[in-house]
Structure 1
């Protein structure tokens, strides 16, 4: 292994994938003490609609921040591969209750159009 420049105690899989952003957990909800009362209040999580849930799933699978996501681009342009498409399809099915084929996700449609179509499909009749 010395010829390859690898140390026996280090495996390439232990390092993060090159070019991929590290996943960071969201900061925990802040707690504020009310002066004089000693009570602790917790911030409520923001309410999310179906479109926000779909965008959040896309961000998680692509490992990108929401601010870095351009909804006018296709998921293929955002570097979604076929394995990520299957993972995203699974997340959308379990988390949002939306069924979509994994073949449609890396297609040429913009993320904006996919989100619009999925949120219309997710709304109860």
Structure 2
């Protein structure tokens, strides 16, 4: 019987695949834990978004107070504004709209978002 056929001769050949398997399983477990944490963060965000979408929109603050506003506190806040469009050129941004999941009525494909300046009724643009 040769030495390479003995169990002691096989150990080094299986050592690297075993180590790589252990490292791979550890990486996959870490990624799975990260995805679970991310899912809970996303649920909190969706609940916050749903609560703000259900509320009534507030009037847009006067332009003199814009410098004092906290953007983080106003994130996703619905507002209403009255004014008239400016004669300045508009800005067009090309977009790709992702299709919604099954059962949704979202459009998909290419499109544009058009941004046009507005002179607010209370002053400011």
- Fold conserved (TM > 0.5)? no
More strand per residue: 1 or 2?
A: 2
More helix per residue: 1 or 2?
A: 2
TM-score, normalization by structure 2: 0.23
TM-score, normalization by structure 1: 0.23
Larger Rg: 2
